[in-house]
Amino acid sequence: MGTKQAVVVGLAMLVVAATAKAGPPAGGTISGKVTYEGTPAKMKPIDMSKEPSCAKMYTTPPLAETVVTGAGNTLENVVVYISAGAPDDAVPSTAAVFTQKGCRYIPHVLAFQVNQEIKIQNEDQTSHNIHPLPKINREWNKSQPPGTPAISEKYDKAEIFPVKCNVHPWMHGNFAVLKNSHYAVTGDGGAFSLPNLPPGKYTVTAWHESYGDQTQEVTISGSESKTITFVFKAKPY
Amino acid sequence: MGKLLAIVLVLIAVLSAYPIVAHMFVLPEDISTHGHAIDDQLHETMLEAGLSFVGAQIVLAVFVWGFADRKKGSQLKNFPGGAKVAVIAAFVLVGTEVLALGVLGQEAWAEVYFTPAKPNAIQVQVQAEQFAYYFRYAGPDGKFGAIHPDKIDEGNQNYFGLDPANEVEARDDIVSGELVVPVNREVQLLMHAKDVGHSFYVRELRLQQDFVPGLDLSVHFTATKTGKYEIVCTQLCGLGHYNMKAYLNVMSEEDYEKWLKEQAAQ
Amino acid sequence: MQEGSVQEAHVHAPPGGFLRKYVFSLDHKVIGKQYYALALVAVFTGMILSWLMRIHMVWPNAKIPLLELFSKNGAPGGVMTPEYYLSLLTMHGTLMVFFVLTNAPFAAFGNYFLPIQIGAEDMAFPRFNMMSFWTTFVAWVVLMLAFFIPDGPPIAGWTEYAPLSAVGKDAGPGMQWGASLWGISIAIFCVASLLGALNFIATTLDLRAKGMTLMRMPLCTWAWFITSCIALLAFAVLFPACILLILDRHAGTSFFIPGGLVISDRLQPHSGGSPLLWQHLFWFFGHPEVYIAILPSMGIVSHILVNSMRKPLLSARVVIYSMMSIGFLSYMVWGHHMFVSGMNPMSSLAFSFPTLTITIPATVLTLIWLGSLYGSNLQINSASLFALGFISMFVAGGVSGFFLAQPSIDIYLHATYFVVGHFHLVMGVASLFGVFAGTYFWFPKMTGRMMSEPLGKLHFWITFVGAYCIFMPFHYLGLIGNVRRYQSFVDDFMAPYIGWHKFVTIAALITGAGQLVFLYNLIYSRFKGRPAPENPWNATSLEWSIPSPPPWNNFGGKHPIVYHDPYQYGVKGSKGDFVMQDSPEHVVAASGD
Amino acid sequence: MSSSIAAPISSQANALPPNEAAARVTPSARRTSSSGIWVGVFAITMSFAAFTSALFVREGTADWSHLVLPPILYVNTLFLLASSGTLEIARRNLRAGAGMPKAGAWVALTLLLGLGFCAGQYRAWLDLREQGIYLATHPNSSFFYVLTSMHALHVLAGLLALAYLAYRLAIKQCVIRRTIFDNTAVYWHFMAVLWIYLLLLCRMKL
């Protein structure tokens, strides 16, 4: 198992090296935005009264983050990634950081690559518990008292799954473990951009935690950049 | 050495009794209608138990002082009356105590458990879960939406597993992380456990009741004083047990109505 | 077959070979020592766990570096996690209740002295006896394994309430294999205890020497006998409970798990089970277990007190009957652990009454002890100090029972530190005082050497004063509603009282350290102690009529004949002030009854 | 009791005629193991009582359904009862001082019947499996499997004792102490009684 991965990773590295030698890649780009139609559910304010140390960090109670919308019906926290057509990439040396602050997860959706290190840190004065709920990856459940070192973990299979804090029921986030480096998480304005795509035929997938996922086929030739839009169907409840 | 033990025993008796006598640890103020009965019962018991404790320690001390390390060949005596006295004393003293405490002293229990909630009592459903309480008010229609465990979605604030899409009753249900009640109105708590066993404990209410999964119990109380009080879990329920709490917010009638409106607005 | 083993064990030459002599020995004396050793290991483990818990509780962010080496998940960066606190809490409770309070006063001393005190050469079934110890040992190993598996020991407390204990890994760290190990360990422990109890009963009923009528048995023999009767019932009920729990955890059954539970965002695949069922089964064992822990100490203490008072108790009979009625009542009171658990409120009252009634025989015992002290010739030594300390502790812990026995007060005090203080004093400290007293009293017989008296007295003072400093404040904290089983007190409500918790923690550290004096005394005296005479305390019961330490067949092939009640002290007109049970000397007026 | 301790080792005892061997067992020694077995019986009764009370509690819940017992159970019952009978015959033979092989043969027959019972129980479990009724299917099946398997475990223990007896009597043809025989008998009859109880319980409640 482990060795197999090593081989895969090794190959991936070679590919990268090769492209690198071939000079600046003829990088095509897929960009666009994610929107919704219909009326999304109204996000309720989170009642943190049971955790005063967090509650006092907000003047008005923060809203739940399952559906975050922007101006012009744009949708945030959507993971847009290449689900097919791109080779597995080398594992980045930098760690993806997942922060617990004010009894919320920052970012709400954390996207990173297979076997990439993730660092989970607790900036609150209270003890948190991190309990990711993967289906195919190894499940673990650890607590992190304030002032303890960051938890470092890895996932060896591509999967998108929720993360929860057993101590604070309202704390829910998502981990998106992806095969390659071509991904983006939509922020304010629902925009995304996947640069440096070598020519080829790609399947682009957009995933949202409560609206599910959509895919589009995109072909990139040369260094052209294509614009696509994902439109999700919003439900009032 | 015997004399020393006697002195230490007396010291222990006195020092143990002191914090009680000096009221260093007073019960939190009672804000319930039934609490006084519990408090009276507790103080009466404290008196009896305290006396028997101090008494026994001192008798032990006196006898040890008197009869430890006597010089060789000193005369043995038998306790006047022998075992009979001891047995009779035990039966009379403790027996009456048992009767007094056990039989006569259950009014508080009766008030909490044997008298049903009045029909005009406000019904609030409380759900205990790892590791928080959530409170549900029926809303304008006065009906609770049904609970669908498979619909529970905490990230989306749907703690009870309501189904507003298909059930009208559920749409106006008010869910809060804080138990808000009007003062001097009887409140009936419908207790529901989402995952494991928990408990509902408010010191000032003199009220404690376990949540039993699969068994929806109910308790009722009347708060007599406005203010914020702590609700804590007293049944070991997992790693966050120590941090499982919520607040009981006793308001004036009108504040309560105002609060309901605000919640309904959201 | 057992008969056969009795013969093989004793008819021919003494047991040869290291294994037969010291490891898989059939000799009740060796087995008794093995139980004692196991209890000693367990008690120090449990004590260290309590240290760690106390330290973490009052200094929640304190770094305990060594702890990180022991468990990286349990203490990242040396800071204990909430779940690890609960793991330690569970293991502390389980070790102390099962492997210390059940093993030390009952199995250890019982095994060693019950046969000797009734004039038998061994237990009725020596093979069973050996099996019970080694089964207990396996149970201990299985339990300790939980420390060394990745997800750590269970976090559901020693009562392992379902469904928390039954649903598996979703319930939190430690609830996957940790909890399973717990269940398996306890199930094994039940089997061991059943074998042991069976053995004790058969031995007491059938192997008594000529003239050793039931009423002539020493009080501790009586206590062990009554205890084994209780144990037989209690563990026979806990065993099925554990089986059902394990099935719920691993076979997908639903004995204790109701339907529609959502734990860690997962809908549990169970339906219809009853959490209260576990509580009933557990406490049907759990409450008698309290008396399994305390009764032997009552017996030992009475046995020692009489000897150091140099005069009989007011009435040995009354003591025996009191212990019997306590044993009997202990089966009608388990519900008082469940007053607020949603049980029918009517039954709460039904359980409350017998609970209060138990105080009557308990008071009788106390008054008998006190009354007997009057006019006695009390000899103060380490043994009698601990015996007297036992009375003090028993009273201190007993009176708080008055509160908890009443449902209406229990509404307020349930699951507070008041309860913790109560059961630690009456069940933990008191019965350990019995064990200490027994150790100082019988050590000479067991090893042939005297223990150091000065060290023994030092040990007593530290322990006696320390125990009060630790457990009295718990009662006060309970009164103001301080909830137990919290790894730290996060609410402002507790802030003003943290000082008291700090005081308790420091007291616990000192008292715990004081136990090292005892450990040193044990080891030192075992090898360097003054050689012990046959009967150092001028005692009357049979164990003092044989050499110290006793030969492998106890009475050297002779068959003691018993002429007297066990406690012929202060006898007029006899050579000494006492007459041994097996001395044919005629006693003019047997004092006492 | 010491006299029994002083008794010669079993190998010599083997040489002696039965009555004399029996005489070597002093009253106290015989009582010893007999009260032992009764205490044991009591303990086992207690734990099955606990299972029963668990069943009664669980019965109250909604998902309690009905379970059709595999008919083979009744055949098994006959096997077990018959085995009790044969064991009694064996004991009579021994009392009457008839040859050990004869008694041994009866014990062996008991052993076979006992094995038959276990095989039958196993068959019953297979029948349920074929109907797709497993341990966790519903509470009734859970209790059925738990009760029957716990009982079967105890029966197996009894079979071991019987095997030992049969071996000593029929093959070694040597004397065995009557207490051992009697205790085994007590235990074995208890197993039959316990089974009748469990069968009725399952029939009425499951």
In chain D, where are the structural domains located?
A: 32-53+68-205
Mean pLDDT value across chain D = 82
Q: Would you state the pLDDT for residue B1?
A: 84
The residue of chain A with its CA nearest to that of C83 is A143
Judged by CB atoms closer than 8 Å, whether chains meet at A49 and B177 is answered as: yes
Judged by CB atoms closer than 8 Å, whether chains meet at B155 and A164 is answered as: yes
Which of C64, C67, C68, C79 to mutate to test binding with chain A, by most A CBs within 10 Å of its CB?
A: C79
The residue of chain C with its CA nearest to that of A152 is C76
For residues C351-367, give the mean pLDDT.
91
Q: Would you state the pLDDT for residue C164?
A: 95
- Say how far apart CA B157 and CA A61 lie, in whole Å: 13
How is residue B68 annotated by DSSP?
A: B
Candidates D35, D46, D47; nearest CB to C202: D35
Q: Would you state the pLDDT for residue A14?
A: 45
Q: C65 pLDDT exceeds 90?
A: no
Q: Write down which chains contact chain A via at least 3 CB pairs under 8 A.
A: B, C
Interface check D36 vs C, CB under 8 A: yes
Judged by CB atoms closer than 8 Å, whether chains meet at C247 and D62 is answered as: no
Per DSSP, helices labelled H in chain B are 2-21, 35-67, 82-98, 107-113, 168-171, 253-265
Interface check C281 vs B, CB under 8 A: no
Q: In Å, how far is A123's CA from the nearest CA of chain C?
A: 14
Q: Would you state the pLDDT for residue A236?
A: 79
Judged by CB atoms closer than 8 Å, whether chains meet at B243 and C82 is answered as: yes
Q: Would you state the pLDDT for residue C13?
A: 56
Judged by CB atoms closer than 8 Å, whether chains meet at B214 and C272 is answered as: yes
Judged by CB atoms closer than 8 Å, whether chains meet at C360 and B161 is answered as: no
- Say how far apart CA C10 and CA C406 lie, in whole Å: 53
SS (H, E, C) C432-451: HHHHHHHHHHHHHHHHCECC
Sorting pLDDT into bands at 50, 70 and 90, what band is A25?
low
Mean pLDDT value across chain A = 87
The DSSP string of A116-147 is --EEEEE-SSS-EEEEE--SSSPP--EEE-TT
CATH number of the domain where residue C7 is located? 1.20.210.10
User: Structural domain tally of chain C?
Assistant: 2
Sorting pLDDT into bands at 50, 70 and 90, what band is D16?
very low
Judged by CB atoms closer than 8 Å, whether chains meet at B90 and C367 is answered as: yes
Q: In Å, how far is B33's CA from the nearest CA of chain C?
A: 14
Report CA-CA distances (Å) from B47 to B17, B42, B43, C353: 11, 9, 6, 20
Report CA-CA distances (Å) from A231 to A174, A183, A201, D154: 21, 18, 21, 67
How many CB pairs below 8 Å do chains B and C form together? Answer: 316
A193 DSSP β-pair partners: A31
Q: A21 pLDDT exceeds 70?
A: no
pLDDT digits (tens, 9 = 90+) for C140-164: 999 999 999 988 999 999 999 989 9
Q: In Å, how far is B154's CA from the nearest CA of chain A?
A: 6
Sorting pLDDT into bands at 50, 70 and 90, what band is D26?
very low
Q: In Å, how far is B84's CA from the nearest CA of chain C?
A: 9
Candidates A66, A126, A129; nearest CB to B156: A66
Q: Quick one: what percent of chain B has pLDDT higher than 90? A: 66
Task: Tell me, yes or no, whether C274 lies in a domain.
Answer: no
Q: Write down which chains contact chain D via at least 3 CB pairs under 8 A.
A: C
Tell which wins on pLDDT, A8 or C76: C76
Interface check A235 vs B, CB under 8 A: yes
pLDDT digits (tens, 9 = 90+) for B124-180: 999 999 999 999 999 888 899 999 999 998 888 889 999 988 888 888 899 999 999
- E strands, C243-372, in order: 262-263, 266-267
- Scanning C9-28 for CB atoms below 8 A from D yields 10-12
SS (H, E, C) C445-494: HHHCECCCHHHHHHHHHHHHHHHHHHHHHHHHHHHCCCECCCCCCCCHHH
Judged by CB atoms closer than 8 Å, whether chains meet at B108 and C480 is answered as: no
Contact residues of C toward A, CB < 8 A: 60-61, 73, 76-77, 79-83, 169, 172-173, 264-266, 490
Q: C20 pLDDT exceeds 90?
A: no
- Say how far apart CA B183 and CA D192 lie, in whole Å: 66
Candidates C79, C169, C173; nearest CB to A148: C79
Q: Quick one: what percent of chain D has pLDDT higher than 70? A: 83
Supply the pTM of this predicted model.
0.91
Q: A62 pLDDT exceeds 80?
A: yes
Q: In Å, how far is C69's CA from the nearest CA of chain D?
A: 41
- Say how far apart CA D85 and CA D91 lie, in whole Å: 10
The residue of chain B with its CA nearest to that of C315 is B83
Which helix (H) or strand (E) covers residue A113, if one does?
strand A109-113
Q: Would you state the pLDDT for residue C574?
A: 67
Q: In Å, how far is C548's CA from the nearest CA of chain A?
A: 55
Q: Would you state the pLDDT for residue D32?
A: 52
For residues B24-32, give the mean pLDDT.
93
How is residue C589 annotated by DSSP?
A: S
Give the CATH fold of the D32-53+68-205 domain: Four Helix Bundle (Hemerythrin (Met), subunit A) (1.20.120)
Residues from chain C that touch A165, judged by Cβ atoms under 8 A, are: none
Judged by CB atoms closer than 8 Å, whether chains meet at B239 and A41 is answered as: no
Which of C279, C333, C408 to mutate to test binding with chain B, by most B CBs within 10 Å of its CB?
A: C408
Q: Quick one: what percent of chain A has pLDDT higher than 70? A: 89
Candidates C11, C125, C233; nearest CB to D7: C11
Domain range enclosing C145: 1-239
pLDDT digits (tens, 9 = 90+) for D46-55: 999 999 999 9
Contact predicate C116/C550, CB 8 Å:
yes
Is the omega angle on the peptide bond into residue C163 within 30 degrees of 0, that is, cis? yes
Give the CATH fold of the B117-265 domain: Immunoglobulin-like (2.60.40)
Q: B65 pLDDT exceeds 50?
A: yes
For residues C284-308, give the mean pLDDT.
96
Residue C325: both structure tokens together: 């009625």
Residues from chain A that touch B156, judged by Cβ atoms under 8 A, are: 41, 64, 66, 210
Sorting pLDDT into bands at 50, 70 and 90, what band is A13?
very low
Task: Please report where in the chains the tokens 């301790």 appear, as a residue.
Answer: D5
Task: Please report where in the chains the tokens 């923060």 appear, as a residue.
Answer: A62
Sorting pLDDT into bands at 50, 70 and 90, what band is B223?
very high
- Say how far apart CA C339 and CA C325 lie, in whole Å: 23
Judged by CB atoms closer than 8 Å, whether chains meet at C206 and D35 is answered as: yes
Q: Where are the domains of chain A?
A: 27-233
Contact predicate B94/C363, CB 8 Å:
yes
- Say how far apart CA C482 and CA B107 lie, in whole Å: 25
pLDDT digits (tens, 9 = 90+) for D173-188: 777 777 788 889 999 9
Using alpha carbons only, what angle is made at residue B93 by residues B89 and B97, rounded to the nearest 5 degrees? 160
Which of A42, A43, A44, A47 to mutate to test binding with chain B, by most B CBs within 10 Å of its CB?
A: A47
CATH number given to A27-233:
2.60.40.420
How is residue C146 annotated by DSSP?
A: G
For residues A17-30, give the mean pLDDT.
58
Q: Would you state the pLDDT for residue C4?
A: 36
D abuts A (3+ Cβ pairs < 8 Å):
no
- Scanning C294-323 for CB atoms below 8 A from B yields 309-311, 314-315, 317-318
The residue of chain C with its CA nearest to that of A145 is C81
Q: Where are the domains of chain B?
A: 2-69+80-112, 117-265
Residues from chain C that touch B207, judged by Cβ atoms under 8 A, are: 411
The DSSP string of A9-27 is HHHHHHHHHHHHHT-S---
Most confidently modeled range among A63-77, C446-460, D162-176: C446-460
Q: Write down which chains contact chain B via at least 3 CB pairs under 8 A.
A: A, C
The residue of chain D with its CA nearest to that of C275 is D58
Mean pLDDT value across chain B = 91
- Which of C183, C216, C239 is the last residue in one of the domains? C239
Residues from chain C that touch B113, judged by Cβ atoms under 8 A, are: 345, 348
Pick the closest to residue C138 from C130, C126, C148 (CA basis): C130
Neighbours of B254 (CB within 10 A): 9
Interface check D153 vs C, CB under 8 A: no
Q: D116 pLDDT exceeds 70?
A: yes
Mean pLDDT value across chain C = 91
The residue of chain A with its CA nearest to that of B244 is A50
Instruction: Give the list of residues 6+ apart from residue A76 with CB closer than 8 angstroms, or none.
Output: A68, A69, A70, A186, A187, A188, A190
Q: Would you state the pLDDT for residue B252?
A: 96
Q: In Å, how far is B245's CA from the nearest CA of chain A?
A: 6
Q: Would you state the pLDDT for residue D9?
A: 32
Report CA-CA distances (Å) from C222 to B68, C317, C431: 27, 10, 16
